[in-house]
Amino acid sequence: MPAIKLTSRPEIAKIKHPETGTEFYSHDGDALRGIRLAVGARTKSWILTKRINGKVRSVKLGEWPEVANGGAAEEIAKKKIAELVTGTDAASTKVVTLMDAFDSHVARSHAKEATIDTYRLQIKNHLSDLFAQPIEQITLPMLENAIKGKTPSTAKHLVQIIKMAFRRASIIRRCFDVSADLKPPQKHRVSSSVLFDAADAWPALDLILASRSMITRTAWLTMLFTGFRSLNVRALDWEQVDLQRKTITLDEMKNGLSRTFPVADVLIEALKALPHRQGYVFPADSKTGHIDQLMARTVTVGERDDAHKVKVLRQHDCRRLFTTAARRARLPEYIIDELRGDTPKKVQDIYDQGSANHADVNKIAARILKECGASPASVLERIKRPDL
């Protein structure tokens, strides 16, 4: 094996590529033990050969001229040796790419399958190239570029997924968490207002009950009469619903809490009208098996050529109206917080084992009916109407 001064970039530059095969060069001196330069027909690569944990291992350290000389290769070698000795290298951990790190995280996660499927879909649609990269080659600018141009909500979700994968990689591979300083772009503060005058009659029930699908109608009614977030409603399973006790249990809310909620009589009647009692409460022909989206309920205003559609009731508006109805019914704040599934704020909230009851949710339901200008009898009749 020929020996040259591998600490000198000019000396390395002078080495000619062989027409075929690979020639190995060692350092002319006592330094750089175990480090060789492999010169092929087109490339010059730094190789470390060393006995580690009783086995002779050969590890590629990088290409020349990116790794300029033997000194730079030696610094990389020190890190590689530490990984090999502790078993935190890519081969030992089988975590090579960011996708591998994500899969390792998922294997230990208690998240629902639907949640994991959503993560994978986001990776496929927005992060596939990034997640295919070796972890040690990913930089912060690469992460920032991956979320660039995305809507604020999508960018926020992508940042969560990236950080999730990198945290797992930093634990397994003992590598630097490049995502630690990654932040989603700031979005405009979302208005907490509905798109109609809440001082007038609420159009919510008319818009919901105008739906031709019993499944869709009942999903919207569930949001309106419970104040639950859309995802919790759309992914609701019959195992979470107790029609006899008139309760619904949410196992994993946005704040991570689990809670059993009393349900108003009017909603129980709507749920009883559904034609099935197994699986998802609101099934659909979709990848998840349940309703994936509930488009905003709209009303047409204007006439002829001037007619246009205006969004009137959005999914989160139901949570706003539920809260407004509870306050207009003069329910205590701690009851409203409990029924909304909010995080405990005070010491008493932490110790409280559940103060809200069916009388409370029936008061809210009665107030919603009143604000919508509807009577319980007329609503129940429309609720039970079959698909049109």
Q: Establish whether domains 98-181 and 204-383 are of one fold.
A: no
CB 7 within 8 Å of CB 69: yes
Structural element, H or E, at residue 308: strand 308-313
In percent, the amount of the chain with pLDDT more than 70 equals 93
Q: What is the CATH number of domain 98-181?
A: 1.10.150
Q: What pTM does this model have?
A: 0.56
The tens digit of pLDDT for each residue in 5-37 reads 888 888 888 889 998 899 998 888 888 888 888
Q: Which pLDDT value is given to residue 373? A: 93
Q: How confident is the model at residue 86 (pLDDT cuts 50, 70, 90)?
A: low
Looking at CATH, the fold of the domain delimited by 204-383 is given as: hpI Integrase; Chain A (1.10.443)
Domain ranges of the chain: 3-86, 98-181, 204-383
**CB proximity list for 362: less than 8 A, separation 6 or greater:** 264, 265
In the numeric block, the tokens 């010491």 are attached to 347
CA–CA gap between residue 76 and residue 66 (Å, rounded)? 12
Q: Is the peptide bond before 65 cis (omega within 30 degrees of 0)?
A: yes
The tens digit of pLDDT for each residue in 265-285 reads 999 999 999 999 999 999 999
CA–CA gap between residue 169 and residue 162 (Å, rounded)? 11
Question: What is the average per-residue pLDDT within 167-185?
Answer: 87
The tens digit of pLDDT for each residue in 285-294 reads 988 899 988 8
Q: What is the CATH number of domain 3-86?
A: 3.30.160.390
- Residue 224 main-chain phi, psi, to 5 deg: -70, -40
- As a whole number, the mean pLDDT across the chain is 88
The tens digit of pLDDT for each residue in 323-364 reads 999 999 999 999 999 999 998 888 888 888 889 999 999 999
The tens digit of pLDDT for each residue in 217-239 reads 999 999 999 999 999 999 999 99
In the Cβ-directed half-sphere of 106, how many Cα atoms lie within 13 Å?
17
CA–CA gap between residue 30 and residue 63 (Å, rounded)? 23
Indicate the DSSP class of residue 191: P
